């Protein structure tokens, strides 16, 4: 095994202001496949909220379906950022949601009442979703097939501008 120190050759920068909030805390980062979009969770008056920004400009991209149901957590993006997945609060349940920024559609993944969803990972091409749940006091990862539900978002596909149909200006 080769080992070496963390050298200065890694180009690095801060993700910048969280949508004009200056030094606000920013957590749970997720990049699209080629890094054009960054999703993260920032503190708002309504609670932890999903923020989607273009990189490197930091321009905020509006989302149609992630305005409510805070706290949001565990964002995940597809290759070109067509799909945005995250956990939201609906009633007493943490629910995985996937927003299709191209069509404006919202997809909800219902889980059994005894499953508490804690983390998500959306495959970049959007064919699978991994959900970490707490069940009977144990953490488990479960996989779901999305191929009948979502069109693939492959590398080299069209970048989606703006917030999709119905998004605020």
Partner 1 sequence: MRVPVLATATGTLMAMALLLGSCMGPMPRPLHPVNSRLEALGATREPSLSGRWLALISGRGGREQVMLLDLERQQPQPLIGLNRADAQPLSVSIDAAGEKIALVRQLEGRTELVLYRRSLQSLQPIAMVPNGVPKAVQLQADGRQLAVQVSRNGIWQVDLIQIP
Q: Which of 108, 106, 103 is nearest to 165 (CA)?
A: 103
55 binds partner 1, rule: CB under 8 A: yes
Query: One symbol per residue from 65 to 84: x for binding partner 1 (CB under 8 A), - otherwise; what is it?
Result: --------------x-----
Out of 50, 52, 129, 160, which residue is the one contacting partner 1 (CB under 8 A)?
129
- Min separation Cβ 27 and partner 1, Å: 5
In angstroms, the first-to-last Cα distance of the chain is: 52
Extract the tokens encoding 32: 């699209």
Secondary element (H or E) of residue 19: none
**Is 2 an interacting residue with respect to partner 1 (CB under 8 A)?**
yes
Among 47, 68, 90, 140, the residue binding partner 1 under the rule CB under 8 A is 140
Strand-pairing partners, residue 73, are 87
**Residue 89 CB, nearest approach to partner 1 (Å):** 20
Q: Which stretch binds partner 1 (CB under 8 A): 59-67, 87-95, 104-112, 161-169?
A: 104-112
Site string for partner 1, 10-49 (x = CB under 8 A): xxxxxx-------x-xxxxxxxxxxx--x-x---------
* Calpha distance 77→80 (Å, rounded): 8
- Options 57-65, 86-94, 125-133, 160-168: segment touching partner 1 (CB under 8 A): 125-133
Burial tier of 62 (Cβ tally within 10 Å: 0-12, 13-18, 19+)? middle
Tokens 């708002």 locate to: 44
């Amino acid at each position: 095994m080769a080992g070496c120190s963390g050298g200065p050759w890694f180009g690095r920068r801060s993700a910048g202001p969280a949508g004009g909030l200056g030094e606000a805390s920013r957590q749970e980062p997720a990049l699209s496949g080629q890094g054009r979009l960054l999703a993260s969770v920032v503190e708002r008056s309504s609670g932890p909220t999903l923020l989607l920004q273009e990189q490197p400009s930091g321009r905020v991209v509006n989302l149609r379906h992630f305005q409510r149901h805070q706290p949001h957590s565990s964002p995940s993006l597809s290759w070109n950022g067509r799909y945005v997945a995250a956990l939201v609060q609906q009633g007493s349940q943490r629910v995985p949601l996937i927003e299709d920024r191209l069509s404006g559609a919202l997809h909800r993944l219902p889980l059994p009442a005894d499953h508490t969803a804690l983390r998500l990972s959306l495959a970049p091409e959007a064919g699978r979703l991994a959900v970490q749940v707490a069940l009977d006091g144990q953490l488990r990862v479960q996989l779901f097939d999305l191929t009948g539900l979502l069109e693939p978002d492959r590398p080299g596909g069209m970048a989606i501008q703006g917030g999709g149909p119905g998004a605020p200006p």
